[in-house]
Structure 1
Amino acid sequence: MNIGFEERHIEVSGLTTRYLTAGNNDPPLVLLHGVGDSAADWSWVLEDIGTRHRVLALDFPGAGDSAKPRRDYSIDFLTQFLRDFLQILEIPRAVLVGNSLGGLIALRFALSNPEQVPALILVDSMGFGQVVNPILSSLTLPLYGELAIAWCKTPLGAKQRAWSRAALLFANPWEVPAKWLAEQERMGLLPGFLEANLSMLRSQIYVLGQQNLVLESLPQVQMPTLVVWGVNDLVIPYNQAQDAVSRLQQGHLALIPSCGHLPQVEQPKLFADALKQFLPGHL
């Protein structure tokens, strides 16, 4: 993981919450990760983006080094958690940057609280179409996900989980940063992490694909919105990004070549450049 940013812990709605922060220029950028990931995914771009903006990358409950209570990790719960997080830190307005499930949560928050979100950045976001990789939808089957958890809690299973996720999430899995793999392996062995993330996955995906779609709501999005997508995303095809941008009032599209589901990790410079080109004209 890079240096140059600070790790902090706060209490949000009674839950210990970790976040990473860098920079000091407002309005801040709040970075939201996806299922099975954490704030660490943003560490490859925090310093770069932090030279121009204050950035905060949080661990949702159930992820990273935040608390992992046994509960239902619904999209409504995570959206409310984001609201509470911003309130605790006294952040009245923030650019939301959401990857995968984090993108869907950012979008739902922005639709409900447009005055708090001057701009929106959605990165390989869920919620734009039903199609999703069947590897993920199969995990939502009764008992199958629980059996996968039992195996992944073993040291060998944790390693296999990390490499399997690399093959799914990256266009070039043989070039995945060793620190990303190590973090995936570490998290897989944390008590409560796999159960919480299976609950998150099931909140958005079922055997036939994605649910909680927001395509019909996109014309209501008022703020400038950048949609960033890896051209080689195996989780969600990039044609969903093109469809989404066509429905937005102020939609902009940045396709990242030779890149999968995590542009901020696989192509951090191209990802940061896309944000630098978008943000100055829209804040």
Structure 2
Amino acid sequence: MKTAVEERRINVSGLTTRYFTAGNDGLPLVLLHGDAASALDWSWVLPTLADTHRVYAPDFPGFGDSSKPNREYSPEFLMQFVTDFLKAIGIERAVLVGNSLGGLVALRFALSHSEQIAALVLVDSSGLGYSVTPLLSQFTLPSYGEAMITWCKTPLGAKQRSLLRAAVFFAHPSKVPDVWLAEQERMAQMPGFLEATLSSLRAQLNVFGQSQVLLDSLPQLQMPTLVVWGSNDLIFSKDQAQTAASRLQQGHLALIPDCGHLPHVERPELFAAALSHFLTGVAS
């Protein structure tokens, strides 16, 4: 029987933060979602991971059901949020798992707070190469992103946005869970969500590709690090995963076959198995 997942809210430096948690024992796992997403993305693997660990999956500020202040959503701001969140829930040391934007934030945190990180997991992470699909980088163009926000806040625009994201983020868009599509539609119509999404995209990208690339910093990491990648990721090429893993002192690579940018949603069994295998080695 799968472990029950609780939804909670906590004040983190003045911001109401929703998070999911499950499990009782084992090294804490903190799961950080990607841009234009929420902690719901982890719900396909969270109960399984909670069988052996205490798991926490927060909504970043600006996303999901957390507060959405009118501000810049830079990786630096989100890294500070992670610092404050861990302090608020009393975690001194954990395994940090980040997907896409969450991976970039996790990587920055590990480089700055290595003593708090037992292990690091980068899932189709930003910051490991310059190339990115033009479907995302075009939002950095002046006025284009703002025009898309206006359209995507309408019911029809929110639905079209959800379906377009499914086509880009999954290897098999026709099999995307209805719950995931509904969450994307719901969030698009929430005040402040698309503005936060655009702000965070522009902090990571320019019209030519990724602007925050940390490949040269990877050899500094002392902790075991797993790089997990969907082999058919259209957002970031799997070559970025292979290059990143080769630069890590304790690097491990897991390519998830027939999978796009969100392996924890599209291939949850394979993702959970790869992560559990890695964590078993960390524990030993």
- The normalised TM-score by structure 2 is 0.98
Unaligned 5+ residue runs, structure 2?
none
Aligned residue type for 1:118: A
Aligned to 2:109: 109
Shift of 1:27: 1.9
1:120 counterpart = 2:120: yes
Aligned to 2:205: 205
Instruction: For 1:26 and 1:149, locate their aligned partners in 2 and report how far apart those are by CA, in whole Å.
Output: 42
Shift of 1:36: 0.5
Aligned to 1:35: 35
Instruction: For 1:106 and 1:21, locate their aligned partners in 2 and report how far apart those are by CA, in whole Å.
Output: 18
Aligned residue type for 2:159: K
Residue by residue over 1:157-199, the C-alpha shift from the partner in whole angstroms, topping out at 9 and shown as x without a partner, is: 0000000000010000000001100011001110100001100
Aligned to 2:167: 167
1:278 counterpart = 2:265: no
Aligned pairs for 1:69-218 within 5 A: 69-218=69-218
Please provide the CA RMSD for this pair: 0.9
Aligned residue type for 1:236: F
Q: 3-state DSSP class of the match of 1:150?
A: helix
Distance change >3 Å, CA 3–CA 63, structure 1 → 2: farther
Instruction: For 1:257 and 1:186, locate their aligned partners in 2 and report how far apart those are by CA, in whole Å.
Output: 30
Aligned to 2:5: 5
Shift of 1:280: 1.1
Shifted more, 19-28 versus 79-88: the winner is 19-28
Instruction: For 1:114 and 1:18, locate their aligned partners in 2 and report how far apart those are by CA, in whole Å.
Output: 26
Instruction: For 1:75 and 1:279, locate their aligned partners in 2 and report how far apart those are by CA, in whole Å.
Output: 26
1:52 counterpart = 2:52: yes
Shift of 1:3: 8.2
Q: 3-state DSSP class of the match of 2:212?
A: coil
Q: 3-state DSSP class of the match of 2:47?
A: helix
Shift of 1:90: 1.0
Q: 3-state DSSP class of the match of 1:119?
A: strand
Aligned residue type for 1:92: E
Aligned to 1:240: 240
The answer to whether the 8 A contact 2:3-2:51 is kept is: no
Aligned residue type for 2:237: P
Q: 3-state DSSP class of the match of 2:9?
A: strand
Aligned residue type for 1:59: D
Aligned to 1:220: 220
Shift of 1:25: 1.6
Q: 3-state DSSP class of the match of 2:191?
A: coil
Aligned residue type for 1:130: Y
Aligned residue type for 1:146: E
Unaligned 5+ residue runs, structure 1?
none
1:266 counterpart = 2:278: no
Shift of 1:26: 3.2
Aligned to 1:253: 253
Instruction: For 1:56 and 1:95, locate their aligned partners in 2 and report how far apart those are by CA, in whole Å.
Output: 10
Aligned residue type for 1:77: F
Residue by residue over 1:129-166, the C-alpha shift from the partner in whole angstroms, topping out at 9 and shown as x without a partner, is: 11000000001111000000000000000000000000
The answer to whether the 8 A contact 2:204-2:212 is kept is: yes
Instruction: For 1:50 and 1:27, locate their aligned partners in 2 and report how far apart those are by CA, in whole Å.
Output: 10
Residue by residue over 1:242-279, the C-alpha shift from the partner in whole angstroms, topping out at 9 and shown as x without a partner, is: 00000000000000011000000000000000011100
Residue by residue over 1:177-231, the C-alpha shift from the partner in whole angstroms, topping out at 9 and shown as x without a partner, is: 0110001100111010000110011110110100111000000010000000000
